[in-house]
Structure 1
Amino acid sequence: MEFNQIRYFLQLADTLNFTEAAVRSGVSQPTLTRAIQRLEQELGGTLVYRDGKDTRLTALGRDIRSEFAALAEGEQRVRALSLNRVRGRRETLTLGVVNTIAPALITGFVTQALHQLPMLELVLEPITRDEGIERLLKGQLDGCFASDPMTKSAKIATVEMFREKLLLAMAQGHPLASQTAVSLADLSEQPYLDRLHCEFRMRVNDHLRARAIIMIPRLRSEREDLIQQAVAEGAGVCMLPEHSAIVPGLTLRPVETLDLSRTIAFQSISGSGTAVVLRQLRMLIERHALS
């Protein structure tokens, strides 16, 4: 049994698609297929069912998946430790983080990545939603945590991590906090604070305008912490993604008829030519997104 076979199987287990697993592994589909077949012969059992376009893990495949994942992570750690000891250097990746994504949504994964990849050094840079792809293609970023990724380019690999809904944020103890959902009529009577970097601004404004409601902001800012702190202190309300509160003292409630959400994803340049440590990081993100 070779580590390449284990890595190929893990990619196949994640994608359940031989073509996509081969692309992610940087090999041809026949090469990956033969490696999986040899692995099945060595283990004495079938790992995946192949029924036309439908591919799924067998009971044996499900049983060994976590064991193989542990082996692959152990190999990565051994190689990383060896690299650090022998060459005395680290691998640095510069990642952009869209400035409306709450730190807690990223730091949990970052902590896990730093633990599992000892040679990794991360530089996190704040970016706007619109500049991530451009900076990736220019080589200024190795990857970025994006909201509602906007490209379908074959040059960009996108891993969707999770979705979060848009809610109304208000101070704890606010009169509307006792409601399970806020009506548009109640919203229209509130002092409104405007998050200028919010990806939902135009859609929210269009939704309200179509219902003859125009919110005139009392405060506007690109600073997430400033707007949220003002809301927590009772200056008004703002629209906020459900996991994006970064100050204490906020209560979030849905707004009736307003059903908006966004996808948080990791994006990087695709292909086997990317740095090994970036491919390892992307693999960790894929597993993190599935957990």
Structure 2
Amino acid sequence: MDTHQLRCFLAVADLLHFGRAAQSLDMLPASLGRQIRILEDRLETRLFLRTTRSVALTEAGAAILEDARALVAQADRLDARLRGLRRRQTPVLKVGAIDSAAAGLMPQLLQHLRAAHPAIEVQLVEQKTIHLLPKLLSGSLDIVFCRPPDIRDPRITFRTLFFETAVVALPTDHPLARQPRIAITDLADAPLIVPDRRSRPHSHDLTIKLFLDAGLTARIAQVAEEKHTIVNLVATGTGLAIVPRWTARISVPGVSFVPLEVAPGRTLSKLILAAAWTRGTRDAQRDALLATLDDHLKEIEDSA
């Protein structure tokens, strides 16, 4: 049984209010309602009586309330025990990072960490957010740098760091490659390479929204999974791509990266980067990494 759905059930059962329950879980009410419906479908029974003015437990909901509470508590104890075992067995600080953070954030951060805390050994894992967060919950990772999902697991603490700057990746012989900046309107007829939304929703949605805000429709020529694949496709002339500026650190011959032109009073930098760790856990090495990041956050942000 999905413990996240049980946590949603318990929040509504305790507060008897979907809006306040969603707020306590850092979720949208619609997302919370969807999780409750999935749980009800799985159990083949209604758990709440809902009207426009009130929420109440059904007989079935009241019957399973304490069992659900016990299951969630047991899952939390198991998670804590596994994290403790892994910590004793492997005193290495295990850090997960999405590709742009692995290319841009981590080299700078690890350099400062080695200077401030030379005894801390770091193991870096580069993956997508959808793969990093489950590893965080299982205890396989101690902290991750990722895009926070729309539905945030209440067991995870997310701390927004900054927004990565978006740039255009294009062949070096493309006419726009010689411009100091590129406006979205310059890309009106350009074939685009975009990430798969299922695995990279933030990067995918950024491209689509930039065109919509300009009154245009993105002309998608190719969908690709990985950033290095996207950049290599740009080099072959398949299309252009809007990517985080740190992607320029992926050295591919024949590709230039040009900043997007930002209209006055607006920002196109909507690729949020956050640090995430398991809520309620203590880790001196993780705290040292975060403190080092705080000490150098401005200079790292300026490079993003």
Instruction: Tell me the TM-score normalised to structure 1 length.
Output: 0.57
The equivalent of 2:211 in structure 1 is 208
The equivalent of 2:290 in structure 1 is 282
Query: Which sits farther off after the overlay, 151-160 or 161-170?
Result: 151-160
Query: Partners of 2:201 and 2:242 in 1: how far apart?
Result: 8
> What's the % identity of the aligned pairs?
19
CA shift for structure 1 position 239: 0.7
CA shift for structure 1 position 201: 1.3
Look up the equivalent residue of 1:139 and give its one-letter code: G
Query: Partners of 2:125 and 2:251 in 1: how far apart?
Result: 21
Look up the equivalent residue of 1:231 and give its one-letter code: V
Query: Partners of 2:153 and 2:291 in 1: how far apart?
Result: 20
The equivalent of 1:251 in structure 2 is 257
Aligned-residue CA RMSD (Å)? 3.2
Query: Partners of 2:231 and 2:201 in 1: how far apart?
Result: 12
Look up the equivalent residue of 1:195 and give its one-letter code: P
| Cα distance change on mapping 1:172 and 1:142 into 2, 3 Å | same
CA shift for structure 1 position 227: 1.4
The equivalent of 1:199 in structure 2 is 202
Query: Which sits farther off after the overlay, 141-150 or 220-229?
Result: 141-150
Look up the equivalent residue of 2:288 and give its one-letter code: Q
Query: Which sits farther off after the overlay, 98-107 or 252-261?
Result: 252-261
Query: Partners of 1:190 and 1:169 in 2: how far apart?
Result: 12
CA shift for structure 1 position 194: 2.0
| Cα distance change on mapping 1:281 and 1:181 into 2, 3 Å | closer
More strand per residue: 1 or 2? Answer: 1
CA shift for structure 1 position 170: 1.3
| Cα distance change on mapping 1:102 and 1:191 into 2, 3 Å | farther
Cα deviation code 1:84-128 (max 9, x no counterpart): xxxxx9831221111343513211211322343333222222232
| Cα distance change on mapping 1:93 and 1:172 into 2, 3 Å | same
The equivalent of 2:6 in structure 1 is none
More helix per residue: 1 or 2? Answer: 2
Residues 1:263 and 2:267 are matched in the alignment: no
Query: Partners of 1:105 and 1:250 in 2: how far apart?
Result: 21
Instruction: Tell me the TM-score normalised to structure 2 length.
Output: 0.55
Whether the aligned pair in 2 keeps the contact of 1:168 and 1:239 (CA below 8 Å) is yes
CA shift for structure 1 position 288: 2.3
Query: Partners of 2:214 and 2:160 in 1: how far apart?
Result: 33
Give matches, 1:234-245, under 5 Å.
234-245=237-248
| Cα distance change on mapping 1:124 and 1:209 into 2, 3 Å | same
